[in-house]
Chains A and B, each alone.
Chain A
Amino acid sequence: MDKYKNNIKISLTILIIMFFLLAGYMGYALFFYGDRWFSSPYNTRVRMSGAQPQIIAGDILDRKNTVLATTKNGNYTDPKTGEAKQGYYREYNSKCRYASHVVGFHNEYGRAGAEAFHIKYLMGYNNNIFERIYQKAFLSQERGNDIMLTIDIQLQQYISELLGNRKGSVVLLNPKTGEILAMVSKPSFDPNNVSNVDGDTLIDRSIQGLYPPGSILKVVTAASALEHIEDIDSWTYNCTGSLDIDGKKISCYDGKAHEEVDLASAMIYSCNGAFAQLGNQIGWKELLETGKKFGFNKNFLFSDIMVYDSSLNIDKTTSKEELGWTAIGQAETLVTPFHMAMVAAAVANDGVIMEPKLLYSVVGRNGRAQKSVEPKVFSEAMTKESARVIKEMMVRVVSEGTGRSANVGGVSIGGKTGTAEVKSTKESQTLPHAWFIGFAPTEDPTLAIAVVVENSGTGGRVAAPIAGKVLRRAHELGY
């Protein structure tokens, strides 16, 4: 009968747990997402507006000190309404159209790109209390900090011109530090004039474009095979041009029979049958485990850039056929070019993926540096040994396999081509997306690249030459 006192104790414990949950969740959410909430384009608190804004935004520079965006005071036209206005506005370097998605814009329409994501620094919200009081007390106009990005506008321009009018994206990283050297998405726009830009152009394909990866995913499958199949060195597969799984056919490109292949030659000639077979031999669990190490199905919470999540949709209900398709990068797998550049970087950097960095440094008033880039490990995707083996294979892909056209001279390259089939509509037969991921120079890679060109043909014919030229140019520039 009088158990109620004990029951009260239990209830109190439940209530206390509930309050701890509240406080804990609040702390967790703010720690991981607080800055993202703050930098949301919908946050009108930090908008620089009108003739007398409280704070004006600082400059955006590239890594060689080229001013990409700056704040000006004067007459300008409101891009939204078209009327002439007087006051502070953002002005962009004419070269900014080569980096329109990276830099973004900040005007009456809203914010995008680094202008949105790094608004905390640009508007000086990271300044300490003394700096803020000093600015309020002694300066006629408060000003935020300058940010220096890791991109090189020269490279951006070269890549943009190389891509021309084709839709697609190129991402170039330094695999050792994670610095983003170039990130181009086409079609692009001029940030000074965004009034007539359509929604498709505004999409940053490098971080928001989700594509089927095609054969470049074989790098991940190979990594998984190297770590999960014990006698992988003696593993062979007899390719007859197509593989039957449960009565369904997975065929090689153009139905070509590669005959007897081992892992290396399957990679070099991009044999679909071999990798589909391999995928089933590895099993969904192990493949998924490797995928997660590479960053699939993960929430990318990078501090410098917002990248859409890649998905590798396999679980225990996946059929053998589907698993085979997944292993060669078709099925429901979707990736961003940025993530694929990280996969290339993993191979180049002994299996370790560094956290990507877009922010080179934050420079405060009087040129005082407030924050500089510190390399940080994102994930250890595979062992050093597996990375070495895959690296050798990728070098041979370029020297003798499907990626021969990446060999443009100037620098030694390793890579993997991909040709991602897309569903054709009845009206038109669409070409596949051309992919290439790679690294250079092969001895000690300092560059990792991912190239995708939408609906353009095979990776070897379209994407590989672009990657080769970009890597050569970057090498010439000393990266």
Chain B
Amino acid sequence: MLTIGEEFLGYFKGKGSELMRDRQYEIFALTLRYWYVFLIGYIFFQCLKSTLHGKRNKEFKRQGGGNVAFVIVLLIFSALGLLSIRETTTIDLDIVVLAVLAATIFLFQYILLRFVFKGLDCFLLLIVDVLFVMGLIMLQRLSPSQAMSQVQWFGMGCIALVASMIVTTLVKGGRRFLYLLMVIGIFLLILPLAFGDIIGGAKNWVSISLFGKEVGFQPSEFVKLILVFVFAIEFSQERTFKERLPVFIFTALCMLILVLSRDLGGALLFFGLFLFIYPIATSDILLTAGAAGAGTAAAILSYYLFSHVKVRVEAWKNPWANIEDRGYQIAHALIAIGSGGFVGAGLGLGIPYIIPASKTDLIFAAICEEMGILVGLMIIGFYAIIAIRGAIIAMNTENRLDALLAMGATVSLSLQSFVIIGGVIKLIPLTGVTMPFVSYGGSSMVVSFAMIGIIEGVAVKTYRASLDDEAEDVKEENAEYEGEDE
């Protein structure tokens, strides 16, 4: 006991005060990781409960978000608060400001939208916000300067969310814009081929000068939005195969351009979106199966034709065989996931920064390392809940166009999350797509929130339509009543 006491006192005498601070932080981080798992778990089960409950009742209209918003704010402050005492002996005010900013934008977005748009699906919004918060915590830990810009992108995302909600509530038919949308889509895709930068092996970035600042963006992300609208507009109406040909050609062209610019993940997502939306609208199994067959054949062909496809597949088959080179990304992602354990190493105690692309594509591995496998599994669960709620919103509406819009956005988000998480855990070959709401990146953030905007827009539209119906019912009843009265 004496030795323990002496050692303990030694710390307070200033001997190795830095060591003491480090250890204090470590003890905090080790203990608090249970708290984070608890908070995220609480949010998860609240969302799950309401979703399963809502499925029985077939509607979410009048569900409030409960205290989940409060728990999210708690998560922001407790996690970023811990990170704020990591580097210095005093509290790092930058991080506190970041936390306040993130919490403010979140609450502003959530409360204002609930107030303005009646019939909004609160839980959908809360889920994407909690995903963003987890990404933000990890980014703050990995690279503080990027965390700040991520909060800016979050703000931009909220604006995109509102904009796409308004557009969605206004869309009726929209055939007029079909060709315009397709032209814009092709233009956006060709843009990086003409004068783009190569980032991460794919030539899909364009730098533009905005407000005197160089801003890079990924046009293919925005084309996803266009594709959702084009598919919904086209397939919501009965048409012959010949009349639909321009849209088919457009889809094929988009994928071709993406494959040529080496954005395999993007091509896969576009193709998957088509494979889901087309049969939903037309029940045309034959053509879908044909397209799926052609796609598979093209994929196999590209394996033999393009060396970069071959490299990806071989790295997937056995990442350990060529760990210094091809398998590097995936092997390090797996090592990181394996190092975390159930509740993770503790925020700031792992070394997730050695994972390649840990801030963007492989952020899932970084989260699993420091926050744990349980949180990783819950993230998968959150995406599944987004899919369930999106599909139920699509089913609740009586308008085919709205249903396809909501389903398009849902499928797009689900596929994207599946492709990237599956790639990180070696279920499928790793292709470079971002993790929606979590990865660092402006284009991804804005487009993902716009997708949620589409789903929420449909929810609001359905709610308004049902209000109108009720109003009409009341009017009719009143008319009948008046008639009786006379």
A22 interface residue per 8 A CB criterion: yes
A302 interface residue per 8 A CB criterion: no
Interface mask (A17-51 → B, CB under 8 Å = 1, otherwise 0): 01111110111011001111110101111100000
Task: Closest B residue to A40 by CB, please name it.
Answer: B335
B384 interface residue per 8 A CB criterion: yes
The residue from A5, A26, A38 contacting B380, defined by CB atoms under 8 A apart: A26
The residue from A43, A136, A139 contacting B339, defined by CB atoms under 8 A apart: A43
| CB atoms of B335 and A8 under 8 A apart | no
- Interface footprint category on B: 35 or more
Task: Closest B residue to A135 by CB, please name it.
Answer: B23
B395 interface residue per 8 A CB criterion: yes
Q: How far is the CA of A25 from the CA of B27 in the complex (A)?
A: 32
Q: For B411, list chain A residues within 8 Å (CB).
A: 11, 15
In chain B, residues 424-477, which have Cβ atoms closer than 8 Å to a Cβ of chain A?
425-427
Expressed in whole angstroms, the minimum distance between the Cβ of B171 and any Cβ of chain A is 17
| CB atoms of B338 and A136 under 8 A apart | no
Known: A26-B376, A129-B31, A138-B7. A34 touches B338 (CB 8 A): yes
Known: A22-B422, A40-B335. A11 touches B373 (CB 8 A): no
Task: Closest A residue to B377 by CB, please name it.
Answer: A23
Expressed in whole angstroms, the minimum distance between the Cβ of B312 and any Cβ of chain A is 18
Q: How far is the CA of A29 from the CA of B337 in the complex (A)?
A: 10
| CB atoms of B337 and A30 under 8 A apart | yes
| CB atoms of A12 and B391 under 8 A apart | yes
Expressed in whole angstroms, the minimum distance between the Cβ of A90 and any Cβ of chain B is 21
The residue from A4, A34, A36, A37 contacting B281, defined by CB atoms under 8 A apart: A4
Q: How far is the CA of A5 from the CA of B214 in the complex (A)?
A: 45
Interface mask (B6-31 → A, CB under 8 Å = 1, otherwise 0): 01101000000000000100110011
A368 interface residue per 8 A CB criterion: no
A366 interface residue per 8 A CB criterion: no
Expressed in whole angstroms, the minimum distance between the Cβ of A118 and any Cβ of chain B is 15
Q: For B10, list chain A residues within 8 Å (CB).
A: 140
Q: For A377, list chain B residues within 8 Å (CB).
A: none
Q: For B380, list chain A residues within 8 Å (CB).
A: 19, 22-23, 26
Task: Closest B residue to A29 by CB, please name it.
Answer: B425
Expressed in whole angstroms, the minimum distance between the Cβ of A458 and any Cβ of chain B is 36
| CB atoms of B335 and A137 under 8 A apart | no
In chain B, residues 347-399, which have Cβ atoms closer than 8 Å to a Cβ of chain A?
350-351, 354, 373, 376-377, 380-381, 383-384, 387-388, 391, 394-395
| CB atoms of A25 and B388 under 8 A apart | no
Task: Closest A residue to B390 by CB, please name it.
Answer: A12
Q: How far is the CA of A388 from the CA of B146 in the complex (A)?
A: 69
| CB atoms of B335 and A38 under 8 A apart | yes
B400 interface residue per 8 A CB criterion: yes
Task: Closest A residue to B6 by CB, please name it.
Answer: A140
Known: A27-B377, A37-B338, A42-B323. A133 touches B276 (CB 8 A): no
Task: Closest B residue to A136 by CB, please name it.
Answer: B23
A423 interface residue per 8 A CB criterion: no
Q: How far is the CA of A347 from the CA of B381 in the complex (A)?
A: 49
Expressed in whole angstroms, the minimum distance between the Cβ of A346 and any Cβ of chain B is 30
The residue from B8, B23, B338 contacting A30, defined by CB atoms under 8 A apart: B338
Interface mask (B265-290 → A, CB under 8 Å = 1, otherwise 0): 00000000000100111010000000
| CB atoms of B338 and A36 under 8 A apart | yes
A9 interface residue per 8 A CB criterion: yes
Q: How far is the CA of A46 from the CA of B407 in the complex (A)?
A: 45
Known: A136-B26, A137-B27, A138-B7. A42 touches B283 (CB 8 A): no
A84 interface residue per 8 A CB criterion: no
Q: For B425, list chain A residues within 8 Å (CB).
A: 22, 25-26, 29
6 inter-chain pairs at a CB distance below 8 angstroms, sorted by A residue, are: A5-B403, A11-B407, A12-B388, A18-B418, A34-B337, A36-B338
| A-B residue pairs, 7 tightest by C-beta | A37-B338, A12-B391, A19-B384, A7-B280, A38-B338, A34-B338, A15-B387
Chain B residues within 8 Å of A, Cβ to Cβ: 4, 7-8, 10, 23, 26-27, 30-31, 238, 276, 279-281, 283, 320, 323, 331-332, 334-335, 337-339, 345, 350-351, 354, 373, 376-377, 380-381, 383-384, 387-388, 391, 394-395, 400, 403-404, 407, 410-411, 414, 418, 421-422, 425-427
Chain A residues within 8 Å of B, Cβ to Cβ: 1, 3-5, 7-9, 11-12, 14-16, 18-23, 25-27, 29-30, 33-38, 40, 42-46, 129, 132-133, 136-140
